Amino acid sequence: MTPPTRLARIIGPWTAGAILVGCVIGTGVFKKASAVAGQLPEPGLALSVWIVVGLLTLFGALALAEVAALIPESGGNLIFLHKAYGPIFGFLWAWVEFWFLRCASIAALAVIFSESLNDVLRLLSQHEGDVLTFWPRQITSVLLVLGLGVLSALGTKQGARFQVIVTAVKVASIVMIALLPLLAWLLPLGGETAPNPANFRPFWPSNWGTVSLAAYATAMVAVLWPYNGWTNIAPLAGEIRDPQKNVPRAFVGGLVLLITVYLAVNVSYYLAVPAAEMTGLGTTPVSTEVCRRLAGPAGLLLASAALMLSVFGSVGGNLLVGPRSVFALSRQKLAPAWLGAIHPRYGTPFRAALFMMFVTAGLILAVALYTQTTTGADGRALKSSFDLLTDFVVFGATLLETLAVATVYVFRKKPPYATMERRYRCPGYPVVPAVYILAMLGVLGNMLLTAESRTTALVGLGLIALGVVAYRWVRPAHSAAES
């Protein structure tokens, strides 16, 4: 059987939107509310951050959708940055995306999945200690990655259908948490406290002069993580049916759903936990504390299961989308040729998918060994390498995503794209993409200027510089292929 030379267009708008939502909803909606409350104690300001970041992300999506519909090729931002600014920018996107946005993030999510599974098993068995000890949890994480990685390699349609199902369950569980205060008002759920609207007072600052723009920007950085992954439709543009119509639909529909769900969940958080108490929860997710207070042990089980399902869907979505960039990089001769193979039967970039799967599994085991053998001066384990990687990459990812959104201006002027038919155009152009770009540049600037995030930003720049070095190493093969 002759292997196909292109990936088949088999993904519809509903499936594409489900993949976007499945990739984006991970741990952020459960964990970041406390970080936002620490910067903005008034609920009105805190809730506004989730709306503002969501709308800014939607503005970016409206612009990027025009580019993805105009150039519907597998690879997404890699292709857009390459064609707009040159091959080094495409390579840098793939560099940051593969090693940090994909492998390290998937590995971290898989570890969180196994920890949540341990919580569920402990609650069900009423066991005081861990049901899954450290290494069994790591093996569970590896098995999750291997199983979902194989599913991604075996078929885009099968993986996409599975993602639709998981995303539906995930959103339903999060909606259940959002509705939990209402249920607690109507039914006896066995919780220790009742929802209290007084937690919203004062809703706005009594003195607006005390509001810090730097604090608001820092809160925005925290909320960027829950929205991270919103560009994940772009790499699948080459496999979406009628991309001029369905890519924008998937972007807009997926993000509107995310904004709505995030806002509803955060309202439920404040009904159960005052802002001052959120900041003192430490590593406990706000969602877990909310469910415990409102519904007792059953609520704890719901929160742990919801987090586990959320992470499960995010891992699956990223393992489905991530290999497309590796595939596209190989086709451009910027990665080994064998990674660009398409399976003759399943029509998937199976080697890229398996490569990402094994690298991620290796990262899980390597970091597990690191955390077990390395301790600080106080004898405690140092911060997880996954946490460091995901912290460091936020700066670089935001920078490159902003450059990707800015390609809408380039392709409006650059031939031959300037004269190509556009069935979809970014509404509000040129203002809408400009608002997104300026806002993200402000956030990036704040990261560089703020002492607590400066090191993270500088390391992110260092990682990008390392990608430049890597590109200079692979460039001869790429130049020979183009000539």
Q: Where are the alpha helices (DSSP H) in 40-155?
A: 43-70, 77-85, 87-96, 105-125, 134-154
Q: Does the residue 1 lie in any domain?
A: no
State the CATH number of the domain containing residue 413: 1.20.1740.10
Domain that includes residue 54, residue range: 13-482
Task: Say how many domains are in the chain.
Answer: 1
How many C-beta atoms lie closer than 10 Å to residue 271's C-beta?
24
Q: What does pTM read for this prediction?
A: 0.79
- Answer whether residue 445 is part of any domain: yes
CB-based contacts of 67, cutoff 8 Å, min separation 6 = 80, 234, 404, 407, 408, 411
In tens digits, what is the pLDDT along the chain, a chain of 483 residues? 555 556 677 788 888 888 788 778 777 788 788 889 989 999 999 999 999 999 999 999 999 999 988 988 877 888 899 999 998 998 898 888 787 778 878 887 888 888 778 877 877 787 777 888 888 989 999 999 999 888 777 765 666 666 677 777 777 878 888 888 988 888 877 778 889 999 998 999 988 888 888 899 989 988 988 898 888 777 777 778 888 888 888 989 989 999 998 999 999 999 999 998 988 876 677 888 898 899 888 888 878 877 887 778 778 777 877 787 788 778 777 778 888 888 877 778 889 889 999 999 998 898 788 777 765 555 554 444 445 555 666 787 889 899 999 999 999 999 999 999 888 999 999 999 999 999 999 999 988 888 777 877 887 888 889 889 988 887 765 555 555
DSSP string, 194-227: ---GGGG-S-S-S-GGG--HHHHHHHHHHHHHHH
Number of Cβ within 10 Å of residue 197's Cβ equals 9
How far apart, in Å, are the Cα atoms of 399 and each of 14, 108, 115, 442?
29, 22, 32, 11
Indicate whether 2 belongs to any domain. Answer: no
Q: Is residue 309 part of a domain?
A: yes
> What is the Cα Rg of the chain in Å?
22
Dihedral, CA atoms, 363, 369, 375, 381, nearest 10 degrees? 70
Closest-CA residue to 42 (of 207, 179, 221, 286): 207
Asked if 37 contacts 279 with a C-beta cutoff of 8 angstroms, the reply is yes
For Cα atoms 401, 405, 407, give the angle at the middle one, nearest 5 degrees: 120
7 in any annotated domain? no
Q: Give a yes or no: residue 118 inside a domain.
A: yes
CA distance 137 to 265: 28
Q: Is residue 4 part of a domain?
A: no
Task: Give dist(CA 242, CA 69) in Å, integer.
Answer: 9
Residue 8 lies in a domain: no
